[in-house]
A and B are shown apart, each in its own frame.
Chain A
Amino acid sequence: MTAKSGSLLQGTLDLIVLQLLRAEPTNGYDLTLRIQAISNEVLKVNAGSLYPALYRLERRGLIKAEWAETPNGRRAKVYSLSTAGKKHLAEQRESWERFSGALAAILRTS
């Protein structure tokens, strides 16, 4: 995963994935597309980072995986947020907002 201006903060990918899955259960490929689209092509997540992140989240019980049919009739592994994941996301989002707010405040000072 890269942003030209350096690597994503640790744990950010997890937050992004959780947030996107909250909206709607998705498979891995669609998730990469959505990250690109929503971030206006700023964030580009490659598969080598995404899938391990998904497995890690699955192991921690924050997301669930199910095999389902895609609209064009293929079998795909669809991830969705678990209850624990929702709770985790809420916590993470709150601390992220606090952090980014603080950072913004610091950057605003000349």
Chain B
Amino acid sequence: MHFLERARWWLGAAFRRRSRDREMREELTLHLEQATERLMARGLSAGEARALARRELGNLTLIEEEGRDARGIQWLESVSADARFAMRHFARRPLTAITIILVLALGIGVNAGIFSMIQAAMMRPAPGVPRNDALVRIRGTSLIRQEGRLQPRGLTQSELRTLASRRETFGAVAGWVSDDLVLDRGESRDPVTLVGQFVTPGYFSILGVRAALGAGLSASAPDAAGAELQAVVAHSVWVKELGGDSAIVGQSITINDIAVRVAGIAPPRFRGPVAGPGRPGIWLPIEARPVLSHGSGGVADQDSMVYQAVARLTPGATLERAATIASVVTRATVAHLGQDCCVHSSDVVWLRGDTEVARAGEKFVLATVLGGLGLLVLLVACTNVSALLIGAAVARRQEIAVRLSLGASRRRLIRQLVTESGMLALAGGALGLSLFWVVTRVLRSVIGADYTDFDPDFTTIGFTAAFALGVGIVFGLSPAFHATRAGLASVLKDSGAGATARSRLQRGFIIAQVALTQPMLIGVAVFVLGIASEADVVVAEAQGERVVSARFDLYRGAGTPAVREQRVRELMTRVVAVPGVAAVVHDASAYAIVDASADPADAPGGADPAFRVRVHLEGAAPGYFAAQGIRIVRGRDIERGDSIGRDMAGVIGSDLARQLFGTTDPLGKRIRTHSRRDGETRTAVVVGVYDSAQPTTRGSGPRIYSADGARWPRHAYLIRTTGPADAVMPAIKRVLRSDGTDLMPRTLETLAAREQQQRDEMLQVTGGAAGAGLLALFLASIGLYGVVSLAVGQRRREIGVRIALGAAPGRVVAMFYRSGVRLSVVGLAIGLPISTIALRVIVTSVPEMPSINVLPMAVVIAVVVIGVASVASWLPARRAATVDPVKVLRLE
């Protein structure tokens, strides 16, 4: 029979089972009637005829059974019967079923996510790029002679042009140059910075991407000077920054102060041919680059290494051939460039997954770590599920034994149990997949699409389904064998032939889980403390609201960085004149991390030169502390000329003063700084002490500030206002905008807002850790529950005997409860040192972390773990008290 017909038959058999049965019965009834009529025609009475006809026909049920067999859907029926039976079973014990599904969903969901991530990083083209097996990326690389390291580089224009001329290999080549661009959205809204790609003709057609709205970039380049510039805008930028109105197509927007017509909107997910961060929000023809960069773009220069390139291979051309051509072209065109520093070369890779240079090793490590993590989570989930399944199977031993004794084959029973676990696994897989989908959606809205754009595709769904089914069968088989192994007599007698080795393994897993849970719980603790510590910062906020941090991008827009720096400086002199602005200073910047120690002559009580503190050396401008409203408790603020020769005049925090000089007056004391990196030793003379309880823009922690003009970041300023800065902000923005939007600062925010943002980010991170910690606790307690409940199930007879001999049910419960808690105590004993160390590392290495007292924290965590473990052990242990000795012992 033809395959399709066969499939239709199966489907018909599966879905029309009932109607087929009815038809068969009808047919046999007719047969009977016709036979009866015929016999009556021969002269038999109606009764006799019917009886004879029946006899001739034989056993009706048997015929129907054989008929069904002949229809060939027996196995289908038994599977569906098993499935229905399983559903009834789950309905009776919904809690177990739900728990198993949840745990499996976690394990499978994590693995589906990891699979999808790895797949996106290795195999899939960038989001929004249709799959095309002829697409390649041509990458420029440079071997840095000194370091022996391979670095990515841009291709030159002549390289690109020569590559495009090799038509026998590269059917089409397109290149692009990425620049930061400023999109002006009018006076009322802040300009936004976008990554723009200036693309050569054919970019979109090679990738097979068509504009979702509008015609896209027209093929003919606007050669004539003053011709209208055009751009294609990314879908998300269109929605977020331009209001998502389709009328914008054909209208002008302002990019780098120049009017550009919107020629199209890119399809929703497309953000350039290369996945990952820094993806473009707008595309313009390459000819627009000199115009938009106000003449400073290096496109005219044949030898600027600025281009990235993709190509479509000619049918029949191989990747190896393409790579050979590319390196030949590179040798011919760029060999003369930068010969003393590096060797330039190029290669060709499929335009799939992550195509960045020098990422191969990283990719492997990432895949290994992620894969390992996924397997670990899966292993934990599966051992727990296995424990739960065995527990459930043991609880059903009698049912199974009865069915065995009634003649059910062991194979049949195993198949039924495996059907059950397979169904659970499939449900878990479906739930896990939806979990993964929801989580990526949430992540995307929180951290943006750059890292999270990997929707589960059909491969992922297929993988997950196959994976779930595999898990269900593998982890369902062993409980099924276990449950059906014992003979009827032994089960009914409950001789308790348990799988000791197995349960020992399981206990080991539980201990490991409890041990690993605690370091994760630190996340919860830090999370809670992070929220609690917000109250402390309020004091500084009043100051933070009056200080605005402005950071410019000197490498973006018109003119050289030096010219732009000058323009920024001029702008700043005008900002000082804005009413409400008290002062403008350069922000500080760290230039070295050194070991600081008190000069032996100045140290209190002789000297302890061995005592060193790691400090940051910061270059700060005069008036830096005053500008931030930070109190100087001793001495003075930074002044111009505080850096004289080798010795510095430094302002230090009260924390460092206390550490180095104790209670003595630090003013005039000398501090030795020693750089581990270059061995340089310098001396700083303390001229001022600031209140370290107030964090500076450089953060808290020991620091030495010194005026050192060469160190001030030229792009970062602090603007001090007399009142809350938000009121003055519009006026400041007006001034900053007056010299063109390309000079608008990259960030312009009050310190309070920045702090808030950092806190939010920290909350997100710790929130993630907390979630993982709670998950781990949940998984561990499920495992514990499973093990204790298995023990109770296996030892029913023993419990019965104990109760019959007079043991109080409460004591029996306590016995099992203790066995569960004992496991978690062992886990704690292993995990507590780990978590204590981890906690100490976190507290000492992350300066923003609120200071945490480690010991009470460890105790709190231990109490939480024991508490949860108690509940997880007590719930199944309680069941021991419900054992009826009469019932159990009657089976003896």
Contacts and interface: CB of A to CB of B under 8 A. Distances in A.
B57 A47 contact: yes
Contacts of A75: 26, 30
A47 B58 contact: yes
Contact of A51 (B2, B56, B63): B63
B51 to A, nearest CB: 16
A59 B72 contact: yes
B27 A28 contact: yes
A76 interface: yes
Q: Which of B9, B31, B59, B69 has the most CB of A within 10 A?
A: B31
B72 to A, nearest CB: 5
Interface in B4-32: 5, 9, 23-24, 26-28, 30-31
Given A28-B31, A60-B1, A48 B71 contact: no
B63 A48 contact: yes
Q: Which of A30, A55, A56, A75 has the most CB of B within 10 A?
A: A55
B67 interface: yes
B30 A74 contact: yes
A76 B30 contact: yes
A55 B30 contact: no
A18 B193 CA distance: 80
A56 B59 CA distance: 19
A59 B30 contact: no
Interface residues of A, number: 22
A51 B26 contact: no
Contacts of A55: 24, 67, 70-71
Contacts of B38: 33
A28 B29 CA distance: 11
B31 A29 contact: yes
A52 B1 contact: no
A74 B26 CA distance: 11
A52 B30 CA distance: 16
B223 to A, nearest CB: 69
B805 interface: no
B71 A51 contact: no
Interface string B30-44: 110111001000000
A52 B70 contact: yes
A42 B596 CA distance: 116
Contacts of A52: 63, 66-67, 69-70
Given A59-B9, A61-B1, A47 B28 contact: yes
A84 B5 CA distance: 13
A48 B70 contact: no
Contacts of A84: 1
Nearest to A28: B31
Interface in A26-47: 27-30, 33, 46-47
Interface string A46-82: 1110011101100111000001000000111100000
Contacts of B35: 29
Nearest to A54: B70
A61 B66 CA distance: 18
A52 B72 CA distance: 10
Contact of A48 (B2, B33, B62): B62
Nearest to B66: A52
A59 B70 contact: yes
Interface in A11-32: 27-30
B621 to A, nearest CB: 90
Interface string A65-106: 001000000111100000010000000000000000000000
Contact of B58 (A29, A46, A67): A46
Nearest to A67: B23
Given A46-B57, A51-B63, A60-B1, A29 B30 contact: yes
A53 B30 contact: no
Contacts of B69: 52
Given A29-B35, A52-B63, A46 B30 contact: no
A53 B70 contact: yes
Contacts of A56: 70, 72
Contact of B56 (A28, A46, A77): A46
Nearest to A47: B57
A47 B31 contact: yes
Q: Which of A28, A51, A67, A77 has the most CB of B within 10 A?
A: A51
Contacts of A60: 1
Nearest to A53: B70
Contacts of B1: 59-61, 84
Contacts of A30: 34
B754 to A, nearest CB: 75
B413 to A, nearest CB: 28
A4 to B, nearest CB: 17
A59 B56 contact: no
A52 B63 CA distance: 7
Contact of B63 (A33, A47, A61): A47
B85 to A, nearest CB: 26
B533 to A, nearest CB: 74
Interface in B492-508: none
Contacts of B34: 29-30
Interface in B41-90: 56-59, 62-63, 66-67, 69-72
A75 B5 CA distance: 26
B27 A51 contact: yes
A52 B56 CA distance: 16
Nearest to A57: B70
Nearest to A46: B58
Contacts of A77: 23, 26-27, 30
Nearest to A76: B30
Contacts of B63: 47-48, 51-52
A53 B35 CA distance: 19
A33 B42 CA distance: 15
B63 to A, nearest CB: 5
Interface in B854-885: none
A53 B58 CA distance: 16
B192 to A, nearest CB: 67
Contacts of B9: 59
Contacts of B67: 51-52, 55
Nearest to B58: A48
A33 B59 CA distance: 19
B201 to A, nearest CB: 58
Nearest to B69: A52
Nearest to B65: A52
B66 A48 contact: yes
Contacts of A27: 27, 30
A83 B344 CA distance: 71
A61 B2 CA distance: 9
B662 to A, nearest CB: 97
Given A28-B31, A52-B67, A52-B70, A61 B62 contact: no
A27 to B, nearest CB: 7
Contacts of B57: 46-48
Contacts of B59: 48
Given A27-B30, A29-B35, A47-B63, A59 B71 contact: yes
Q: Which of B2, B38, B67 has the most CB of A within 10 A?
A: B67
Interface in B429-447: none
Interface of A: 27-30, 33, 46-48, 51-53, 55-56, 59-61, 67, 74-77, 84
Interface of B: 1-2, 5, 9, 23-24, 26-28, 30-31, 33-35, 38, 56-59, 62-63, 66-67, 69-72
Given A27-B30, A47-B31, A76-B30, 14 more contacts: A33-B38, A46-B56, A47-B56, A48-B63, A52-B67, A52-B69, A52-B70, A53-B70, A55-B71, A59-B1, A59-B9, A59-B71, A61-B5, A77-B27
24 contacts: A28-B31, A29-B34, A29-B35, A46-B57, A46-B58, A47-B28, A47-B57, A48-B57, A48-B59, A48-B66, A51-B66, A51-B70, A52-B66, A55-B24, A59-B9, A59-B70, A59-B71, A61-B1, A61-B2, A74-B33, A76-B30, A77-B26, A77-B30, A84-B1
* Top 5 closest pairs, chain A to chain B, by CB: A55-B70, A52-B70, A29-B34, A61-B1, A56-B70
